[in-house]
Structure 1
């Protein structure tokens, strides 16, 4: 592997490494291992303990500081913020609000996309079917590369809406925009369940059922496949919302 390839590999892995370090430190703050006012281990110690680079440590500290959990002090180190308990409560409340919004959006999508899938099965052109398949393949490639799949996920649903040949279906999805992809809304405090390859592979299996029904021109099967996909999402996010007092567990990706 040459220098450019090594840099590209490090760039690709860095967000996941930083995520893990953020989760580890956040868990220690919530569990009381690190108390307000405590000094975190040094940059070198964190690098050694977690096997990450200084760049990853600095990124993690920046994110924790942005959440109000730590306070870097020039020349002194990084300390747990005195306001950390309040910041954690705020993050939990923010997550609860986001999950509630996700459920509202999914309710709207259920009313729209089930029928749009059926219409796509009846009306799609060869080029529109090709667009659906292209978005499906892009999701696969992003999944294999370990990259976020939200863009391809939205493109898949938008391509189906486009295949209805009714521009208002597309317009509604465009208005919803990023909110169409639930996990994108909760990514900063989401569980491993919502970001794992296993979870996203299940989403892709649901997409495949929709795509094949549309390709076969089977309107009823397309309805059923889209209903199954969105209903599964509703169940997943209802489970998160019903966690109630356990929402802090989402910060550690343990659900």
Structure 2
């Protein structure tokens, strides 16, 4: 018995299986304007930018800490590539940012050199215009309480060891009745470095010797404290700072810096 033929309108429909086979064929380009397109990854570009930023931070800190002195030539492009394991493109982007910040100048065919402080553009903070030690301390309270909180979170073990050494030097000098100014300043500069933010270092460098203001203790003892005892009190405050940084406790570090600088403001009498 013959099977009945399907109606004519069904015989004219396309073969559904054939259509599905075509749809499922690989490498077919969709003409649908709303079809999802594979996004172009921006990761390589973001990574390059991040590497350049990291390199700028590293070189800026070396410059601001004096590890690369004014007038000194930066390592060559090839040296930086080998030392940091980055591409030439990353190095050139980093150098361009250092030029824009006024830290270096490039003489084509010769090299890139660190600018003298007086030649650098950017922030200008003339300490000699700050007439009172209290003004300087107030400025430092605003700056360094935030810096030490960041340092507590971001510091490396090497930076922590350098801070410990600075305080050991401070204590040795104090015991020998020598000036502790250099060790004191170094400790505060190391905190700025540990923030990982080169602008903290730049501001501290511009402050220069005013980080530890030129000051004198009144000839008569103030509140029963002599100079050595005040140095001892400052040392205890430094140790509280270092302890908070070691524990990576930003709130305790911020409070310790506020206490230290507030007490310093009370201990110091500005030179007239």
- Report if aligned partners of 2:189, 2:201 keep a CA contact under 8 Å in 1: yes
- Report if aligned partners of 1:99, 1:186 keep a CA contact under 8 Å in 2: no
Matched, 1:204 2:222: no
Separation of aligned partners in 2, 1:112 and 1:190: 31
In structure 1, the residue matched to 2:197 is: 166
- Report if aligned partners of 1:98, 1:186 keep a CA contact under 8 Å in 2: no
> Within 5 A, what are the aligned runs for 1:91-170?
101-170=132-201
Of stretches 150-159 and 195-204 in structure 1, the one that deviates more from structure 2 is: 195-204
- Report if aligned partners of 1:203, 1:229 keep a CA contact under 8 Å in 2: yes
Q: How has the CA–CA distance of structure 1 residues 202 and 117 changed in structure 2, closer, same or farther, with 3 Å as cutoff?
A: same
Deviation of 1:188 after TM superposition, in Å, equals: 9.2
Secondary structure of the corresponding residue to residue 195 of structure 2? coil
Separation of aligned partners in 1, 2:255 and 2:217: 32
Where structure 2 has 5 or more consecutive residues not aligned to the other structure, the ranges are 1-127
Separation of aligned partners in 2, 1:199 and 1:211: 19
In structure 2, the residue matched to 1:178 is: 209
Where structure 1 has 5 or more consecutive residues not aligned to the other structure, the ranges are 1-96, 242-246, 249-255
Separation of aligned partners in 2, 1:126 and 1:138: 18
In structure 1, the residue matched to 2:246 is: 215
Separation of aligned partners in 1, 2:226 and 2:190: 23
Separation of aligned partners in 1, 2:143 and 2:237: 17
Q: How has the CA–CA distance of structure 1 residues 112 and 147 changed in structure 2, closer, same or farther, with 3 Å as cutoff?
A: same
In structure 2, the residue matched to 1:51 is: none
Separation of aligned partners in 2, 1:146 and 1:99: 29
Secondary structure of the corresponding residue to residue 165 of structure 1? coil
- Report if aligned partners of 1:121, 1:215 keep a CA contact under 8 Å in 2: yes
Q: What are the superposed Cα offsets for residues 190-232 of structure 1, whole Å, 9 maximum, x if unpaired?
A: 6666872111000000000000000000000000000100111
Matched, 1:224 2:255: yes
Computed over aligned residues only, the root mean square deviation of the Cα atoms, in angstroms, reads 2.8
Deviation of 1:236 after TM superposition, in Å, equals: 3.0
Deviation of 1:174 after TM superposition, in Å, equals: 1.1
Matched positions, count:
143
Separation of aligned partners in 2, 1:153 and 1:195: 18
Structure 1 or 2: more helix by fraction: 1
